[in-house]
Structure 1
Amino acid sequence: MTQDRATDWTGRVLRLRVEGPAHGGEFVARHEGRVVFCRGGVTGELVDVHIDDDPGRAFCRGTVQSVIEASPDRVEPACPAAAAGAGCCDWSHIAADAARRYAGRILTEQVTRIGRIDLPDAPVAVEVPAGDPASTGWRTVARWITGRDGVPGVRRARSRDQVAEQCSQPDPRLRQAVSETSFGPGREVLGVLGDDGAVHIATRAAIDDAPRGRGGRSRQSAATRARARHSRAAGWEIVTGEPTVVRRVGDHEWRVPLAGFWQAHRSAATHYSNGVRAAVSHTPQLSAAPVVWDLYGGAGLFAAGVREEIPNARVTIVESASASVEGATHAFGDTPDGGIRTVRSRVETFLEDRDTRPGEHTDPEVVILDPPRGGAGIPVMQRLAAIGPSRIVHVGCDPASLARDIGVLVAAGWTLTDLRGVAAFPGTHHVEGIAVLDVPRRP
C-alpha cells in the first residue's frame, strides 16, 4: 500500500503481536498495514510498543514498553546496561539457544533474498565459538565513553546519551581496570585484554558523531561513517599496559598494535582459524604446495593456520591497515619467510596489479576472504570468479554483505558447498558466517 508521507505515529503506544526477527536485531510486527520494527521483542509475544521513530513511510520503529504475553524464549536480561536502554546487548533478553536459532533465520533470509541462493538445509545452523558457551564476560576488546562526570559508560540505543550501568560483555578484568581509572569528561576509552592476561587501556577525546540526515537509515549510515573515520584516526594515549597486545592461537603468537584489529570474542579467533584451515585442506584436488591468497588478511591469523595444516602452502596476506600489517610483520618477518609473505595493499589494487602485471602474482588454488562489515563488494567478487581458484572461503561479519558477495559467485555458476553461522557476539543480534564455495566444473 502507499503511505501518506504525513503519517507520523511517533509517541504512540501500540499493542502488537510480534512476528519474526529482522536483519538489524529488531523484530517485526504490523499495524494498519505498516511494518513496525520492535526493539526488545521476541517472536510470538503480545507487547505494547512505544513508537520512537516514524519516517512517514511504510514502516516505523519502536521499543517494547511492556510485555502482555511473554515468549518462553524470554529471560531476565543479563546486561545491566541493556536493561537500562543501552544499545549494546540488544538480545540479552533472549535465551542463548533461541537467539542462535533466530540468528540462523536472519542469515538464511539474507542469503536467500539478497544472494538469491536456494538453501536446502535451512535455517542455517549457528555455532558457539570454539565450544565457548559464555554469554557474559567474553569480550577482550571494548570501548566506553565518559560523561560530564568522567564516569565510563556506553551509548543509549539510537542515541548519543550515555548509560552509566555496566555492559556485561567485557571481561571482568577490563571492567575493573576501567572502573578504577580516572579519565575525565568527554573521553573515549579503549580496553584490551591480551592473551597473556595483560590489561591495556588507552584514551582519546571523544568525537562528536551526531548523525545527520533524514530518516533512521540515513542517520545510521552517517553515524557509521563518522565512527569509521574516527577509528582510523590517531591520538590514543596509553594509560595502562604496552603499545602492543599479545595474541595467541595454537602455537602461534602475534604482537598486535593496541588499536589493531583482532577478534573481540576470546574464542572467535581459534574458531575461525580452525574452520578456515579445515576448509582449505579439504579443497578438491588440492596440490601438495598450493598457492593461497589471504585477502583482508589482518595480522595473518588464517595464514598461520593454513601453514600449520599444509606446511608447503605458499600464502600471500593482502592487508591495507598499517597496524595489522605490523602484526603480520612481527609474526612472519619482513621478507617472505616460511611460505608466508605480506603485501600492504587494498585488495582492489592487488587484483588490478595481478591483471596488469600477471607475472608478479601466481594465481591461487584457494582464496580466503575476511572483509570488513561492508563486505568485499561486487567488483572484487567478479574478479575472483574470473580468476577461478578451486575454492573460495568467505568469512563474513554481516549477513547482508556476505549474502551479496557469495551471490555473485553462485550467479556465475559456483557451488555453495557449506554455510554456517557463528555467534561471535553473544547477547546481541550480530551473527557472522563462514561460506565455502567451489569453482564451476569445467570440461
Structure 2
Amino acid sequence: MSTHETIDWTGQVLEVRIEGPAHGGEFVARHDGRVIFCRGGLTGERVEVRVDDDPGRGFCRGTVQTVIEASDGRVEPTCPAAAAGGGCCDWSHIAPATARDLAGRVLAEQAGRIGRFEPPHGTVAVDVPAGDDTRSGWRTVARWFTDDDARPGVRRLRSREIVSQPCSQPDPRVLDAVLGAGVGRRREVLGVLGDDGTVHVAHRAADTDVRRGRGRASGRAAATRARARTAAGRRWELALGGPMVERRVGSRRWLVPVDAFWQAHRSAASHYSDLVGAAVADAPGVSTDPVVWDLYGGAGVFGAAARDAFAGAHITVVESAQGSLTAATETLGADAGIHTVRSRVETFLESGPTGTTQSTEDGARPVSGAADIVILDPPRGGAGIPVMQVLASATRSRIIHVGCDPASLARDVGVLVSAGWQLRDLRGVAAFPGTHHVEGVAVLDAPGRT
C-alpha cells in the first residue's frame, strides 16, 4: 500500500473474522492488511461490519451488522439503549463468564504491552463483586441527559445525540425517580440510590462544549479538560432527596455529598474493602502499628479497611475533594489513629509526610517520609510515573493499587516492577457488568520482602 494512497472505507460493509478484544471494548479484525476495530463483535465470529469512521491510516472503525457465524459466548443483548446506539452497555451481547474471561485477557495484554511485566499466574482472573452476578439494575449512581422534549437518556456513542431508550444498568428505583422528577430540557441529571433506600436526584445545565481532540486518547483528554473547565459553573440543583447520601460498608456508615465519588456497583465498595483489607493484613515484615497511606482516599473506605486489619495502624487518608474528605473525617475522625489530609497526592508526597504529626491515644507521633503500606485508588488516568517513582522508594513493605483502567494500571505497576518490586497478585473486578470496563487490583511487595 502506497503511503500516498488515499483510503476511505466509510460506509462499506466488509466480511471479516473477529480475532480478539482490544482495550476500549472493540474487537480486532483485519481486511486487506488494515485493522478494523469492530463494535458489537466477539472473538472467533465471522461477521459483516459496516465501516463508520475511517481516518485513512492503518485502521478504521465499524459496527457489526450481521453475524454469520456466532460465538458460543453470544447472548441476547440486555440493554435497549445500547441496541439503539447508546454508548453504554457495549458488551451486553456477551455472556458474563465470557466477558470476564475477555476482560482478563485485556488486563494481561496491557500488562505485557504497556507495563512490560507478566501477571504472576500468566492469566488474570476477574472477580464478580462480592458474588453479586446480576446483569442489570446493579448501578446505584447514574447520569442521564435530557433532550429537547425533556426526556432523559444516554448519549449515542461518540455523539451528543440523546438515546431515550432505557439503559439496563441503573437500579429501577433510580430511573423511576429521574423520570418523575421533571427536571426540564437540556439538563444533565444525576440519580443516586443510598444504602438506606433513599433516592436522590440532582440536575444542572448540560455541558455543550463539543470540541474534540484528534484521535481517541486526545479526544478523551479533551473531554476531561472540558468537563473540568465547566463543572464549577454548572452547580447541581436538588430535585429529590437531600444533599447527603447514606453509604455503608461493614458496620460503618458514611454521609457523602450527592455528587461525591462512590462505587457505582451496589456491591463494589464492600468487595474492594475486603480485598484491600486482606492485602493489608498479609503485608510482609510489618509491625503491629504500621504507617499506612490511603492515597486518593475518597471517603476513607480503604483507610477503614486498614484499621480493621491492624488495630494499631497509623493511617493517613489523602484526598483533594473537600466533600469526600469531610465524609472521611466525620466517619473516621473519632479514631485517633486515622488522620485526614486535604491535598493532591503529588503535593502530599512532596511536603506532607515529612514533619507532620498524627494524634494517637499516647500523644502525637511523627510521621516519617516513608510508609509501611500504601493503598492508592487514583482516577482513570492513574497515578502517573512521577508518583509511582516516589512511592517505589518511599514504601517499605507493600503497595496495593486499585486501578480504574487497564492501561494506566499497567503503566503504574510497570514503574514498580522495573524498580525491583515483586508483583504478588493481579486480578480484575467486573464492576460494570454488560460493559467492557474492568478494574484491576495489583498487590506488590518491596524488593527483598517475602
Residues 409, 79 of structure 1: alpha-carbon distance in 2 compared, 3 angstrom cutoff: same
Q: Do structure 1's residue 285 and structure 2's residue 285 form an aligned pair? A: yes
> Who is 1:343 aligned against?
341
> Who is 1:383 aligned against?
390
Gap regions ≥5 residues in structure 2? 358-365
Q: Tell me the distance in 1 between the aligned counterparts of 2:5 and 2:424.
A: 45
Query: Deviation at 1:68?
Result: 1.3
SS at the partner of 2:133? coil
Query: Deviation at 1:395?
Result: 0.3
Residues 176, 4 of structure 1: alpha-carbon distance in 2 compared, 3 angstrom cutoff: farther
Q: Tell me the distance in 1 between the aligned counterparts of 2:92 and 2:442.
A: 27
Gap regions ≥5 residues in structure 1? none
SS at the partner of 1:424? coil
> Who is 1:332 aligned against?
332
The range that moved more, 349-358 or 171-180, is 349-358
The range that moved more, 336-345 or 433-442, is 336-345
SS at the partner of 2:73? coil
The range that moved more, 231-240 or 241-250, is 231-240
> Who is 2:433 aligned against?
426
Residues 349, 120 of structure 1: alpha-carbon distance in 2 compared, 3 angstrom cutoff: closer
Which residue, 349, 361, 364 being the options, matches 2:367?
361
Residues 314, 442 of structure 1: alpha-carbon distance in 2 compared, 3 angstrom cutoff: closer
Q: Tell me the distance in 2 between the aligned counterparts of 1:159 and 1:26.
A: 17
Aligned alpha-carbon RMSD (Å): 1.8
> Who is 1:197 aligned against?
197
Query: Deviation at 1:123?
Result: 2.0
Query: Deviation at 1:139?
Result: 0.3
> Who is 1:371 aligned against?
378
Q: Do structure 1's residue 238 and structure 2's residue 238 form an aligned pair? A: yes
SS at the partner of 2:21? coil
Q: Tell me the distance in 2 between the aligned counterparts of 1:233 and 1:439.
A: 44
Q: Do structure 1's residue 53 and structure 2's residue 60 form an aligned pair? A: no
> Contact 1:4–1:57 at 8 Å: present in 2 too?
no
> Contact 1:18–1:42 at 8 Å: present in 2 too?
yes
Which amino acid counterpart does residue 152 of structure 1 have in structure 2?
P
> Who is 1:406 aligned against?
413
Query: Deviation at 1:269?
Result: 0.2
The range that moved more, 224-233 or 79-88, is 224-233
Q: Tell me the distance in 2 between the aligned counterparts of 1:288 and 1:214.
A: 52
Query: Deviation at 1:389?
Result: 2.1
Residues 222, 102 of structure 1: alpha-carbon distance in 2 compared, 3 angstrom cutoff: same
Residues 216, 56 of structure 1: alpha-carbon distance in 2 compared, 3 angstrom cutoff: farther
Residues 195, 232 of structure 1: alpha-carbon distance in 2 compared, 3 angstrom cutoff: farther
> Who is 2:360 aligned against?
none
SS at the partner of 1:177? helix
SS at the partner of 1:179? helix
> Contact 1:295–1:347 at 8 Å: present in 2 too?
yes
Deviations 1:209-248 (A, max 9, x none): 3242334443333223323444565510000000000000
Q: Tell me the distance in 1 between the aligned counterparts of 2:433 and 2:449.
A: 42
Query: Deviation at 1:180?
Result: 1.7
Q: Tell me the distance in 2 between the aligned counterparts of 1:346 and 1:157.
A: 33
Deviations 1:131-170 (A, max 9, x none): 1001100000000000000000001111111101000000
The range that moved more, 62-71 or 35-44, is 62-71
> Who is 2:363 aligned against?
none
> Contact 1:34–1:58 at 8 Å: present in 2 too?
yes
Report sequence identity in percent: 65
Which amino acid counterpart does residue 323 of structure 1 have in structure 2?
G
Q: Tell me the distance in 2 between the aligned counterparts of 1:108 and 1:294.
A: 26
> Who is 1:72 aligned against?
72
> Contact 1:5–1:57 at 8 Å: present in 2 too?
no
Q: Tell me the distance in 2 between the aligned counterparts of 1:231 and 1:131.
A: 36
Q: Tell me the distance in 2 between the aligned counterparts of 1:413 and 1:308.
A: 29
Q: What is the TM-score with the length of structure 1 in the denominator?
A: 0.96
Q: Tell me the distance in 1 between the aligned counterparts of 2:337 and 2:257.
A: 24
Which amino acid counterpart does residue 53 of structure 1 have in structure 2?
D
> Who is 1:149 aligned against?
149
> Contact 1:3–1:57 at 8 Å: present in 2 too?
no
The range that moved more, 224-233 or 426-435, is 224-233
Deviations 1:171-195 (A, max 9, x none): 0100111112211110000000000
Q: Tell me the distance in 2 between the aligned counterparts of 1:196 and 1:18.
A: 45
Residues 218, 442 of structure 1: alpha-carbon distance in 2 compared, 3 angstrom cutoff: closer
> Contact 2:246–2:255 at 8 Å: present in 1 too?
yes
